[in-house]
Amino acid sequence: MTIIFNNQTLDLPLEEMSMGDFLRSKQYEIRLLIVMLNGKYIKRAAYETTSLKEGDDVMVLRLLTGG
């Protein structure tokens, strides 16, 4: 399937994938992320039960110390 990931097109080898699997495939540390799917905030507890599908718009922000 093809999704939009952080404003860029991304081809994924699978037709279905959980948000949790996607984040792990991108080497994200799950603990400190902001994740949005089609403009909607996804809570950490819902990563494993949220499925990605063709055309989804995924935004991931990794939070870093400093400010």
Instruction: Point out which residues bind another protein (CB under 8 A).
Output: 6-7, 32-34, 36, 39, 41, 43, 59, 61-67
Cβ closest to another protein, residue 13 vs residue 67? 67
| CA dist., res. 13 & res. 15, Å (int) | 7
Cβ closest to another protein, residue 14 vs residue 36? 36
Cβ closest to another protein, residue 9 vs residue 65? 65
The least CB distance from residue 44 to another protein, in Å, is 9
| CA dist., res. 2 & res. 64, Å (int) | 28
Measured CA to CA in angstroms, residue 1 lies from 10, 18, 29, 32 at distances of 8, 13, 24, 26
